[in-house]
């Protein structure tokens, strides 16, 4: 029985966490047997060695099972108008066959979630998000001729990320995939079914996301690992992906910001500007959720600034307080890792305004343990203007084999 | 006759809490109790040999953890165990359960309505925001908004600051929430009638109001704002029944040197020269003290145990007008085995929690209509639990204790007193309803303690059997509880105080009114405060 079938029956409670369509393969490869629950599914923390899995992302290619990601199919004559009212950016600019990263806000201009809009075919959209959105989408659909269906369980998804990812896809029969531009979608035949490939990902590198019917999931996995072997393919877990995600400077809901519709206290949610996502707000659109509040914020100023920090030393500044030169708390780190590619100690942080300006003196308070003894360091932080990892191959089209 | 520093009338959990703090502060304290046992409505009694009933209140969540800890109730014998689960069974054999695992719970909602499954997150966030707002108010004396005393101004500023933390929108939401009906509130989130009626039960328990009556949304909050070990909204069993709560507080009281006298119904509060002097009991004994505290409800306090000539007439009038309406009954049932509920299937963990038989908001409103028509509901709302599934001390091994809270049950039948025949009819209505969902239930019934408002008033002293000592509506909450101008636990006569559920923050086995009253009394006596105050779980 699948989780989707289980939802139709009273006895579903006998199993709380389910397996994705790739589980037969991922479980065989997961020699460390480390898993955690991601929404309905169990998902791998790691497979064999987090550092080597990470290395595969940057050096060859690695595969991540993203089936549990929430997906909504949005169709109907008003699909575009509906999405344009929902999100902050101009969805009309996402042409058929393209993907757009976006955020959406509540009426107070606070970010509910971020995600990607796949313009699969003319007027057919898929919205992928961290949190489930059926309630919010439905509430936003008054007056629009639009159909919204959550189809998370109908699509199996894999991320194939890294410099050799294009070579692997060509090897499994995705002819011409190298010509897909960043954020473009291609459709390929795979063993008699349609394989959707988008040049997207969460690693800030050359990489693709693959979407297929769950029944074909294992065949896809096997083909990738069969043809990918000579290209250094490896499975990766969430821990390796997390390092790559922070290097790329991508946000994670529930980590770098708290979804506004689940936030109890008013000062704990964030606006797009407060997440350094002002570029995704298009005031040229006459009407979208949060527009009025965001215009007011622009006039009045934001409460917070989201920054990338280059932290002195090599101790990751996880959950650290950030201080100014007078030892006042001016913010907190939301994500932090040692960056193996940049060879830097990196962090994402939310600071109170006006801190985070170029030249501001900032310090992270870091605690770490050696042989059960605790140490504290105050590490100087520099605000970084660019992502810590942004290789030209990420954008190069046609994609090379590397 | 020895003179006490303070006398508390009624050994319910609030009276005992109040007395415990006064005794701990060094006062010589006496609690006078009309029954041969203590506990009031937080009581466990062995009526059928081998079975321990939670005769009135039956589950625990509101008991303030600060008081539990401060009075060392664990050391005095109290153990509260969370139970989880809970389910509504519909007449077509479907169910809607409360599963503890977040994803299982979501799937359970999605089975009924996929959108409602997502809306539940929004609902939970909004209700949690209300919980977070009210929780710091529970162990505080409500400010008088008409007063310019520094402490009232300070408290009003505190309240304003708390409100502001949640954002401007919250002020609108809160004013609406406190005045709207639970049905209207749920309609803003959910489409499925099953989901709505499942969640609405907490809005009407203990209230003579229907799901469409304004004010019932707050009653839901009153059932959500407690916690078990920081899990807000969770409920647990007091091991050994709810009497274990009262017993542990009584043990704390005794450890501080306090005394309890049972079988001593108070006939009258003695008033001399415009201030209290003690109490006289029905059996002719008089106890003296300069401080007298009533754990009785406001109606009973000012209309039964005072000479009305000793009271300002407006107080007698307010007490008579106090909205305290009987709406509930209780069946405590000894069972020779575990009843089966075919709709739940085998070994369903939902059965550890509250079981309801529900179909729609409409049907719940019809149950309320019966009450308005002067009779018990023909299709009553039941809150049914089998505590012995969790707590092995409640029944012999293999046997079970079932607690059935019933709504709606009027204080009078078509305006006249209840008769034994009425009670029998009421009992059978309830047993029949359970029997429809559990084929083997009737054959397992060994003993039933059936309590209508008549018994609840006669035995426990709850006016009309109202479990909250008065409706939890905005006109009777915060600075209006019990009466405007009297919300700070002081009565109209010098030395007289109130400490029961008829004072802020209201009913439920919370102990907050008792503790708050003790703080005020110690202040008046010029003693340092030793009672926990406020709360900071953000």
- Provide the 8-state DSSP code for B269: E
Whole-number Cα distances in Å, A346 to A315, A341, A377: 10, 11, 15
pLDDT band at B1 (very low <50, low <70, confident <90, very high): low
pLDDT band at A7 (very low <50, low <70, confident <90, very high): confident
Whole-number Cα distances in Å, B46 to B13, B43, B52, B380: 19, 10, 5, 27
Chain B touched by A40 (CB under 8 Å) = yes
**B2–chain A nearest CA distance, Å:** 54
In chain A, the number of structural domains is 2
Distance, in Å, from the CA atom of B173 to the CA atom of A34, rounded to the nearest integer, reads 44
pLDDT band at A2 (very low <50, low <70, confident <90, very high): confident
Average pLDDT of span A246-251: 97
**Interchain proximity A132–B169, CB inside 8 Å:** no
Closest partner residue to B115 (CB to CB) among A7, A13, A138 is: A138
Chain A touched by B104 (CB under 8 Å) = yes
Q: Are strands B87-89 and A156-161 parallel, antiparallel or unpaired?
A: unpaired
Residue B356 within a domain: no
Chain B touched by A133 (CB under 8 Å) = yes
Residues A169 and A62 in one domain: yes
Chain B touched by A352 (CB under 8 Å) = no
Whole-number Cα distances in Å, A368 to A80, A255, A319, A371: 50, 21, 12, 10
Q: Which residue of B has its CA nearest to A148?
A: B115
Chain B touched by A127 (CB under 8 Å) = no
Closest partner residue to B165 (CB to CB) among A8, A135, A265 is: A265
Residue B104 within a domain: no
Average pLDDT of span A70-87: 98
Q: Residue A180 in contact with residue A186, Cβ under 8 Å?
A: yes
In chain B, the number of structural domains is 1
**Interchain proximity A266–B166, CB inside 8 Å:** yes
- What is the predicted pLDDT for the residue at B535? 72
Q: For the stretch A232-259, what's the b/e string if a residue is b when 16 or more beta carbons lie within 10 angstroms of its beta carbon?
A: bbbbbbbbbbbbbbbbbbbbbbeebbbb
Residue B401 within a domain: no
Per the listing, tokens 């609840």 go with B456
The token pair at A34 is 């480390």
B354-366 pLDDT, tens digit each: 999 999 999 999 9
A125-141 pLDDT, tens digit each: 999 999 999 999 999 99
Residue A23 within a domain: yes
**Interchain proximity B117–A134, CB inside 8 Å:** yes
**Interchain proximity A12–B128, CB inside 8 Å:** no
Residues B436, B439, B441: CA angle, nearest 5 degrees? 95
Question: Hey, CA dihedral for A45, A51, A53, A54, is it positive or negative?
Answer: positive
Residues A168 and A61 in one domain: yes
Distance, in Å, from the CA atom of A337 to the CA atom of A68, rounded to the nearest integer, reads 24
B263-293 pLDDT, tens digit each: 999 999 999 999 999 999 999 999 999 999 9
Residues A28 and A159 in one domain: yes
Q: Which residue of B has its CA nearest to A17?
A: B103
- What is the predicted pLDDT for the residue at B301? 98
Residues A359 and A230 in one domain: no
Closest partner residue to A40 (CB to CB) among B99, B103, B116 is: B103
Chain B touched by A6 (CB under 8 Å) = yes
Q: Give me the residues paired with residue A249 across strands.
A: none
Q: Residue A44 in contact with residue A65, Cβ under 8 Å?
A: yes
User: Which residues in chain B (192-211) have CB-CB distances under 8 A to chain A?
Assistant: none
Where do runs of H (alpha helix) occur along B93-192? 102-112, 114-138, 150-165, 168-177, 182-187
Chain A touched by B112 (CB under 8 Å) = no
**Interchain proximity B107–A12, CB inside 8 Å:** yes
- What is the predicted pLDDT for the residue at B387? 98
The token pair at B285 is 């004994």
Residues A334 and A217 in one domain: no
Q: Which residue of A has its CA nearest to B123?
A: A262
CA atoms within 13 A on the CB side of B125: 17
Crossing angle for the helix pair B168-177 and B150-165, to the nearest 10 degrees: 110
**Interchain proximity A13–B97, CB inside 8 Å:** yes
Order of strands across the sheet that contains B355-357: B95-97, B87-89, B355-357, B381-385, B400-407, B328-335, B445-451
Q: Which residue of B has its CA nearest to A138?
A: B115
- What is the predicted pLDDT for the residue at A112? 98
Q: Residue B19 in contact with residue B304, Cβ under 8 Å?
A: no
Average pLDDT of span A323-336: 97
**B109–chain A nearest CA distance, Å:** 9
Long-range contacts of the stretch A85-88 (C-beta < 8 A, 24+):
A85/A140, A85/A144, A85/A287, A85/A288, A85/A289, A86/A137, A86/A140, A86/A288, A86/A289, A87/A117, A87/A288, A87/A289, A88/A272, A88/A280, A88/A281, A88/A282, A88/A288, A88/A289, A88/A290, A88/A294
**Interchain proximity B128–A264, CB inside 8 Å:** yes
- What is the predicted pLDDT for the residue at B370? 98
Specify the 3-state DSSP secondary structure of A367: strand
Residue B135 within a domain: no
Residue B44 has pLDDT above 90, yes or no: yes
Residue B483 within a domain: yes
**B222–chain A nearest CA distance, Å:** 18
Q: Which residue of A has its CA nearest to B103?
A: A40
Residue A262 within a domain: no
Residues A42 and A183 in one domain: yes
- What is the predicted pLDDT for the residue at B536? 60
**A4–chain B nearest CA distance, Å:** 9
Domain of residue A189: give its range: 14-67+155-248
Chain B touched by A303 (CB under 8 Å) = no
Q: Give me the residues paired with residue A157 across strands.
A: A211
Residue A333 has pLDDT above 90, yes or no: yes
**Interchain proximity B104–A135, CB inside 8 Å:** no
Specify the 3-state DSSP secondary structure of A320: coil
Chain B touched by A142 (CB under 8 Å) = no
% chain A with pLDDT above 70: 100
Average pLDDT of span B63-82: 96
Average pLDDT of span B218-241: 92
Of B451, B449, B469, the closest CA to residue B512 belongs to B469
Q: Which residue of B has its CA nearest to A264?
A: B129
Residues A160 and A242 in one domain: yes
Whole-number Cα distances in Å, B510 to A153, A216, B470, B503: 45, 57, 15, 12
B155-179 pLDDT, tens digit each: 999 999 988 889 889 999 999 999 9
Which residues on chain A are in Cβ contact (under 8 Å) with B111?
7-10, 12
Residue B534 has pLDDT above 90, yes or no: no
- What value does the mean pLDDT of chain B take? 96
- What is the predicted pLDDT for the residue at A359? 87
pTM for the model stands at 0.95
Residues A166 and A244 in one domain: yes
Distance, in Å, from the CA atom of B520 to the CA atom of B516, rounded to the nearest integer, reads 7
A376: domain CATH number is 2.40.30.110
Average pLDDT of span B33-52: 97
**B132–chain A nearest CA distance, Å:** 8
- Preferred mutation among A10, A15, A140 to probe B, highest tally of B CBs within 10 A: A10
Phi and psi at residue A344, in whole multiples of 5°? -135, 160
Closest partner residue to A7 (CB to CB) among B107, B129, B170 is: B107
- What is the predicted pLDDT for the residue at B537? 65
**Interchain proximity B166–A133, CB inside 8 Å:** no
DSSP conformation letters of A122-166: TTEEEEEESS--HHHHHHT-TT---EEEE-GGG-EEEEEESTTHH
Residue B358 within a domain: no
Residue B498 within a domain: yes
User: Which residues in chain B (348-387) have CB-CB distances under 8 A to chain A?
Assistant: 348-350
A-to-B residue pairs, Cβ atoms closer than 8 angstroms: 78
B69: domain CATH number is 3.50.50.60
Domain of residue B29: give its range: 3-45+59-80+239-322+464-524
Residues A48 and A170 in one domain: yes
Residue B297 within a domain: yes
Q: Which residue of A has its CA nearest to B349?
A: A13
Residue A189 within a domain: yes
A187: domain CATH number is 3.30.1360.120
Closest partner residue to B99 (CB to CB) among A13, A132, A264 is: A13
Close Cβ partners of A116 (under 8 Å, ≥ 6 residues apart): A99, A100, A101, A102, A127, A128, A200
**Interchain proximity A13–B104, CB inside 8 Å:** yes
A158-171 pLDDT, tens digit each: 999 999 999 999 99
Residues A62 and A159 in one domain: yes
Determine how many CB atoms are found less than 10 A away from the CB of residue A366.
24
Determine how many CB atoms are found less than 10 A away from the CB of residue B455.
18
Which residues on chain B are in Cβ contact (under 8 Å) with A40?
103, 107
Q: Which residue of A has its CA nearest to B124?
A: A262
Per the listing, tokens 């991922």 go with A26
As a residue count, chain A comes to 402
Of B111, B342, B105, B350, the closest CA to residue A10 belongs to B111
Distance, in Å, from the CA atom of B21 to the CA atom of B489, rounded to the nearest integer, reads 15
**B96–chain A nearest CA distance, Å:** 9
Distance, in Å, from the CA atom of B100 to the CA atom of B228, rounded to the nearest integer, reads 14
Chain B touched by A263 (CB under 8 Å) = yes
Specify the 3-state DSSP secondary structure of A71: strand
Average pLDDT of span A88-96: 98
- What is the predicted pLDDT for the residue at B538? 58
Q: Which residue of B has its CA nearest to A151?
A: B114
A22-77 pLDDT, tens digit each: 999 999 999 999 999 999 999 999 999 999 999 999 999 999 999 999 999 999 99
B96-134 pLDDT, tens digit each: 999 999 999 999 999 999 999 999 999 999 999 999 999
Which residues on chain A are in Cβ contact (under 8 Å) with B107?
3, 6-7, 12, 40
Average pLDDT of span B141-164: 93
The radius of gyration of chain B from alpha carbons, rounded to an integer in Å, stands at: 22
Residue A8 has pLDDT above 90, yes or no: no
The token pair at A314 is 């090599």
Residues A204 and A325 in one domain: no
Residue A322 within a domain: yes
Chain A touched by B53 (CB under 8 Å) = no
Residue A8 within a domain: no
Residue B519 has pLDDT above 90, yes or no: yes
Residues A163 and A243 in one domain: yes
Distance, in Å, from the CA atom of B8 to the CA atom of B11, rounded to the nearest integer, reads 8
């Amino acid at each position: 029985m699948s989780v989707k079938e289980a939802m139709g029956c009273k006895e579903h409670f006998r199993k709380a966490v389910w397996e994705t369509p790739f589980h037969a393969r991922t479980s065989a490869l997961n020699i460390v047997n480390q898993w955690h629950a991601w929404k309905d599914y169990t998902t791998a923390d790691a497979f064999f060695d987090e550092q080597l899995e990470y290395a595969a992302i940057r050096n060859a290619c690695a595969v991540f099972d993203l089936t549990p990601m929430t997906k909504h199919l949005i169709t109907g004559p008003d699909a575009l108008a509906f999405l344009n009212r929902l999100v902050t950016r101009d969805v009309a600019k996402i042409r058929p066959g393209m993907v757009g990263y976006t955020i959406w806000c509540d009426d107070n201009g606070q970010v509910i979630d971020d995600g990607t809009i796949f313009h699969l075919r003319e007027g057919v959209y898929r919205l992928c998000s961290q949190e489930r959105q059926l309630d919010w989408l439905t509430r936003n659909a008054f007056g629009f001729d639009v159909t919204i269906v959550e189809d998370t369980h109908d699509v199996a998804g894999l991320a194939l990320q890294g410099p050799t990812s294009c070579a692997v896809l060509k090897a499994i029969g995705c002819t011409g995939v190298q010509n897909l531009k960043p954020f473009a979608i291609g459709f390929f035949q795979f063993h008699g079914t349609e394989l959707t490939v988008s040049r997207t990902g969460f690693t800030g590198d050359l990489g693709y996301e693959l979407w297929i019917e769950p029944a074909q999931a294992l065949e896809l996995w096997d083909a990738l690992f069969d043809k990918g072997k000579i290209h250094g393919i490896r499975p990766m877990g969430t821990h390796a992906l997390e390092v790559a995600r922070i290097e790329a400077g991508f946000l994670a809901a529930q980590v770098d910001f708290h979804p506004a519709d689940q936030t109890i206290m008013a000062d704990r949610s964030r606006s797009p500007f407060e997440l350094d996502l002002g570029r995704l707000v298009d005031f040229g659109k006459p009407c979208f959720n949060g527009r009025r509040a965001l215009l007011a914020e622009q006039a009045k100023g934001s409460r917070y600034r989201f920054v990338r920090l280059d932290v002195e030393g090599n101790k990751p500044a996880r959950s650290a307080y950030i201080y100014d030169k007078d030892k006042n708390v001016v913010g907190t780190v939301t994500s932090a890792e040692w960056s193996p590619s940049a060879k830097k100690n990196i962090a994402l942080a939310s600071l109170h305004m006006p801190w985070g300006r170029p030249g501001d003196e900032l310090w992270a308070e870091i605690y770490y343990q050696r042989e059960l003894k605790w140490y504290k360091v105050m590490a100087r932080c520099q605000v970084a203007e660019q992502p810590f990892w942004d290789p030209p191959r990420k954008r190069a089209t046609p994609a090379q084999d590397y | 006759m020895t003179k006490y520093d303070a006398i508390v009338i009624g050994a319910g959990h609030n009276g005992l809490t109040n007395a415990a703090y006064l005794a701990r502060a060094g006062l010589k304290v006496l609690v006078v109790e009309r029954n041969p046992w203590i506990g009031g409505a937080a009581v466990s009694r062995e009526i059928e040999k081998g079975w321990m009933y939670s005769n009135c209140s039956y589950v625990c969540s509101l008991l303030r953890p600060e008081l539990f800890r401060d009075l060392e109730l664990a050391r005095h014998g109290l153990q509260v165990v969370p139970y989880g689960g809970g389910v509504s069974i519909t007449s077509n054999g479907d169910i809607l359960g409360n599963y503890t695992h977040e994803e299982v719970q979501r799937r359970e909602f999605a089975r009924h309505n996929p959108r409602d499954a997502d809306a539940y997150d929004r609902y939970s966030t909004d209700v949690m925001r209300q919980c977070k707002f009210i929780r710091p108010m529970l162990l505080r004396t409500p400010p008088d908004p008409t007063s310019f005393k520094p402490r009232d101004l300070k408290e009003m500023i505190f309240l304003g600051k708390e409100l502001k933390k949640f954002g401007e929108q919250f002020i609108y939401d809160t004013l609406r929430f406190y005045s709207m009906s639970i049905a209207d509130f749920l309609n803003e989130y959910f489409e499925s009638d099953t989901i709505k009626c499942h969640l609405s039960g907490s809005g009407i328990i203990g209230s003579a109001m229907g799901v469409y009556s304004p004010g019932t949304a707050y009653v839901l909050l009153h059932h959500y704002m407690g916690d078990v070990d920081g899990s807000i909204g969770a409920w647990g069993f007091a091991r050994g029944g709810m009497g274990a709560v009262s017993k542990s507080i009584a043990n704390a009281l005794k450890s501080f040197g306090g005394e309890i006298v049972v079988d001593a119904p108070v006939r009258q509060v003695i008033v001399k020269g415009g201030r209290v002097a003690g109490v006289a009991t029905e059996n002719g004994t008089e106890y003296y003290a300069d401080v007298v505290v009533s754990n009785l409800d406001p109606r009973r306090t000012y209309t039964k145990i005072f000479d009305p000539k000793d009271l300002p007439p407006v107080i007698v009038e307010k007490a008579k007008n106090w909205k305290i309406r009987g709406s509930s009954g209780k069946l405590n049932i000894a069972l020779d085995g575990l009843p089966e509920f075919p709709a739940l299937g085998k070994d369903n963990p939902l059965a550890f929690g509250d079981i309801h038989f529900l179909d729609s908001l409409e049907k719940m409103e019809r149950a309320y209509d019966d009450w308005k028509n002067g009779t018990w509901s023909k299709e009553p709302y039941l809150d049914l639990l089998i505590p012995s599934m969790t707590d092995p001390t409640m029944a012999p091994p293999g046997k079970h204790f079932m607690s059935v809270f019933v709504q709606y049950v009027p204080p009078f039948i078509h305006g006249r007193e209840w008769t034994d025949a009425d009670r029998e009819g009421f009992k059978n209505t309830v047993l029949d309803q359970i029997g429809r969902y559990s084929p083997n239930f009737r054959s397992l019934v060994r003993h039933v303690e059936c309590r209508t408002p008549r018994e609840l008033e006669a035995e426990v002293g709850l006016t009309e059997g109202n479990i909250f000592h008065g409706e939890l509506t905005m006109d009777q909450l915060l600075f209006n509880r019990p009466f405007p101008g009297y919300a700070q636990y002081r009565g109209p006569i010098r030395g007289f105080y109130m400490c029961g559920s008829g004072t802020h923050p209201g009913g439920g086995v919370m102990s907050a009114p008792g503790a708050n009253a003790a703080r005020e009394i110690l202040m008046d006596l010029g003693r340092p405060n030793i009672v926990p105050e406020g709360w900071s779980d953000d």
